[in-house]
């Protein structure tokens, strides 16, 4: 048994037990009664807590965002871009505290959380670079030549940003940066397991001089998120999280005719072609298929292998996963950490049990002891002989579990990849780039990686079907915070 209780307290954790929320440019004591505890998933130690804000706090936060909206909207886009660039610099100054707080909240290895600040800064800088798009006049003549229309792009207004726990910084910043660039003001609600790391983004925003009320942060449970979505002062909702909660938010926004962007779950496939180079695949396997201990929405957790290379592929995947270090997420060489929460650990174990019960063959891992005497660890597991009807082949597990299925013909491989209610990511592994590119068009999914997967801030990240509505990143992600206004005029 490995004990992690000895993790030294050298972590850079500026926030632990706090009482306040951020409203109208100030930290102020929340007036709600409950508290949410923050647990280190590697040690099970409760090391922090935040208040559950009241409806009165929520009203204040939305009102502050509403008051700030006019002034922020009326700034020139280049002036807003200047704030975003300063914010990027301030986030980078806080990189270590962001990384350590993130790791203590959700168990992401520091090799992962250590990139959070740099990635966030790069998202702010990318959206700052789009200021020109908001300044370019879009003038369209009437087809009969009788006049012209100036198409203006107005910011939508006050936005509710609701984030999950798997990437607590970047999934906030992916919404915050385009919202601010567009001229919107925001109220952020982080996930309950990860409410502290995002405070460092607020600190960065203050240091960057953002006007009071432009960014507000409130904490509370899922029901509080629901109250935020329904609040009459909210003009748009941006959400990342599970498909069931996304569906419920979509229903509410449908009733209210409130614009909404939803980034939801996934069950993506790695389609391995017969000519694939398995050595190259092994080098990107974990990043592509089990990033962040399998807690990433777009990863290719189903590997589709041609029957003639099935055994070889199973051996390579098994050996690669079995050799990767699992353990203390604060160690730089740790690849797999614990599950983020006890509930997530139990969910993943239940899926592993279902795989065994339905006849899949665990080639490493399985429902065995984790080898740690505390923490929410689940042994990384590879299942071979998976068939399309099994739950592990169909449902999002959100843990370190891979399923390997076999196909006989490329058409069957494509059909298997598309045999899912989701449509988020996917990868193709082939030594023939033209063939792989052509094949990407046959996958019914918002993004496809050829030989690797990474999201690009300059390109849309958009889920199809049960994976969501709308897009984040790219000019499309900025547009999600804008509404057009057509001003018709005669040509003089």
Active-site residue list = 263, 297
CB of 195 to ligand NDP, least distance (A): 8
Q: Which is nearer to ligand NDP, 70 or 221 (CB)?
A: 221
Between residues 94 and 291, which has the closer beta carbon with respect to ligand NDP? 291
Residue 320 in contact with ligand NDP, rule: CB under 6 A: no
Does 95 contact ligand NDP by CB under 6 A?
no
Say whether residue 380 binds ligand NDP (CB under 6 A): no
Tell me the window of 208-216, 223-231, 369-377, 444-452 that interacts with ligand NDP (CB under 6 A): 223-231
- Residues 468, 474, 478: CA angle, nearest 5 degrees: 80
DSSP letters, 318-353, are HHHHHHS-BS-TTSTT--B---SSHHHHHHHHHHHH
| Least distance in angstroms from the C-beta of 311 to ligand NDP | 31
28 binds ligand NDP (CB under 6 A): no
Among 297, 362, 443, 478, binds ligand NDP (CB under 6 A): 297
In terms of CB distance, is 57 or 396 closer to ligand NDP? 396
**Which among 443, 19, 473 is positioned nearest to 270, based on CA atoms?**
443
**140: β partners:** 149
> Could you tell me which of 124, 133, 135 has the C-alpha nearest to residue 210?
124
Q: Which of 32, 107, 225, 413 binds ligand NDP (CB under 6 A)?
A: 225
Nearest to 472 by CA among 84, 123, 72: 123
Asked if 187 is part of the footprint of ligand NDP (rule: CB under 6 A), the reply reads: no
Q: Which helix (H) or strand (E) holds 127?
A: helix 116-128
**Helix count (H) and strand count (E) of the chain?**
17, 22
Nearest alpha carbon to residue 323 among 371, 273, 286: 286
Cβ-contact 339, 351 below 8 angstroms: no
Q: Choose one: 7-15, 115-123, 237-245, 271-279; the region binding ligand NDP (CB under 6 A).
A: 237-245
* Residue 265 binding ligand NDP, by CB under 6 A: yes
What angle, rounded to 10 degrees, do the helices at 55-74 and 222-230 form? 50
Q: Which of 264, 303, 414, 428 binds ligand NDP (CB under 6 A)?
A: 264
Residue from 77, 109, 233, 241 touching ligand NDP (CB under 6 A): that is 241
Q: Least distance in Å: CB of 301 to ligand NDP? A: 11
Q: Indicate the residue among 203 and 263 with the shorter CB distance to ligand NDP.
A: 263
- The answer to the question of residue 473 lying near ligand NDP (CB under 6 A) is no
Residue among 209 and 251 whose Cβ is closer to ligand NDP: 251
Q: How far is the CB of 249 from ligand NDP (least distance, A)?
A: 6
Q: Are the C-beta atoms of 477 and 161 separated by less than 8 Å?
A: no
Cα 384 to Cα 358, 362, 404, 421, distances in angstroms = 12, 6, 5, 22
Residue 215: its H or E element: strand 215-217
Phi and psi, residue 335, nearest 5°: -100, -45
Name which of 430 and 447 has its Cβ closer to ligand NDP.
447
- Told to check if 165 binds ligand NDP by CB under 6 A, we report yes
> Closest residue (Cβ) to ligand NDP?
225
Neighbour tally for 3: CB within 10 Å: 11
Question: Which distant-in-sequence residues (6+ apart) come within 8 Å of 7 by Cβ?
Answer: 40, 42, 43, 328, 330
Site string for ligand NDP, 386-415 (x = CB under 6 A): ----------x-x-----------------
Q: Which of 59, 92, 148, 226 binds ligand NDP (CB under 6 A)?
A: 226
C-beta of residue 176 within 8 angstroms of C-beta of residue 216: no
Of 224, 219, 220, 299, the residue nearest 266 (C-alpha): 299
Q: Is 351 in the site for ligand NDP (CB under 6 A)?
A: no
Give the interface size with ligand NDP as a residue count (CB under 6 A).
26
Q: Does 350 bind ligand NDP (CB under 6 A)?
A: no
**Which one of residues 222, 366, 451, 470 is an interface residue with ligand NDP (CB under 6 A)?**
222
Strands 302-306 and 401-407, by their bridges, are: parallel
249 is an interface residue for ligand NDP by CB under 6 A: yes
Q: Does 229 bind ligand NDP (CB under 6 A)?
A: yes
- Pick one of 191, 317, 405, 469: the residue that binds ligand NDP (CB under 6 A): 191
- Determine, following the binding rule CB under 6 A, whether residue 90 of this chain makes contact with ligand NDP: no
Quick check: 250 binds ligand NDP (CB under 6 A)?
no
Q: Are 182 and 31 in contact (CB under 8 A)?
A: no
Residues that bind ligand NDP (CB under 6 A): 162-166, 189, 191-192, 221-222, 225-226, 229, 240-242, 245, 248-249, 264-265, 297, 344, 347, 396, 398
């Amino acid at each position: 048994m490995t004990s992690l209780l000895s993790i030294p307290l050298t972590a850079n954790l500026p926030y632990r037990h706090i009482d306040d929320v951020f409203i109208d440019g100030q930290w102020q004591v929340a007036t709600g009664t409950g508290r949410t505890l923050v647990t280190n998933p590697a040690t099970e130690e409760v090391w922090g807590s935040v208040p559950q804000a009241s409806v009165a706090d929520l009203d204040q936060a939305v009102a502050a965002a509403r008051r700030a909206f006019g002034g922020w909207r009326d700034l020139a886009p280049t002036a807003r871009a200047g704030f975003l660039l300063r914010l990027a610099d301030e986030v980078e100054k806080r990189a270590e505290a962001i990384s350590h707080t993130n790791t203590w909240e959700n168990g992401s290895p520091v090799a992962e959380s250590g990139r959070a600040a740099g990635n966030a800064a790069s998202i702010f800088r990318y959206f700052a670079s789009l200021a020109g798009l908001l300044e370019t006049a879009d003038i369209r003549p009437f087809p009969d030549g009788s006049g012209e229309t100036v198409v203006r792009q107005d910011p939508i207004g006050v936005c509710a940003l609701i984030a999950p726990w798997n990437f607590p910084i970047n999934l906030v910043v992916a919404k915050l940066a385009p919202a601010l660039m567009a001229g919107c003001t925001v109220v952020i609600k982080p996930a309950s397991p990860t409410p502290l790391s995002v405070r460092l983004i607020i600190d960065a925003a203050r240091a960057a001089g953002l006007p009071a009320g432009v960014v507000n942060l409130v904490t509370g449970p899922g029901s509080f998120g629901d109250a935020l979505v329904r609040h009459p002062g909210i003009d748009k909702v941006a959400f990342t999280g599970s498909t069931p909660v996304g569906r419920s938010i979509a229903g509410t926004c449908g009733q209210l005719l409130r614009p909404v962007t939803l980034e939801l779950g996934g069950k993506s496939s790695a389609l391995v072609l017969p000519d694939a180079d398995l050595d190259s695949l092994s080098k990107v396997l974990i990043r592509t298929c089990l990033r962040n201990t399998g807690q990433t929405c777009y990863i290719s957790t189903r590997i589709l292998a041609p029957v003639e290379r099935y055994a070889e592929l199973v051996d390579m995947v098994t050996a690669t996963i079995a050799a990767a270090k699992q353990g203390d997420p604060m160690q730089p060489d740790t690849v797999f950490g614990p599950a983020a929460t006890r509930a997530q650990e139990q969910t993943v174990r239940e899926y592993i049990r279902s795989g065994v019960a339905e006849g899949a063959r665990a080639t490493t891992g399985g429902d065995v002891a984790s080898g740690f005497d505390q923490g929410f660890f689940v042994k990384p597991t590879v299942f071979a002989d998976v068939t399309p009807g099994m739950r592990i082949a169909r449902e999002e597990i959100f843990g370190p579990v891979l399923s390997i299925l076999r196909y006989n013909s490329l058409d069957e491989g494509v059909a298997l990849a598309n045999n899912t209610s989701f449509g988020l990511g996917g990868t193709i592994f082939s030594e023939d780039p033209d063939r792989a590119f052509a094949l990407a068009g046959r996958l019914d999914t918002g993004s496809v990686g050829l030989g690797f997967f990474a999201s690009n801030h300059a390109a849309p990240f958009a889920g199809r079907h049960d994976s969501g509505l709308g897009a984040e990143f790219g000019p499309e992600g900025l547009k999600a915070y804008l509404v057009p206004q057509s001003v018709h005029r005669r040509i003089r």
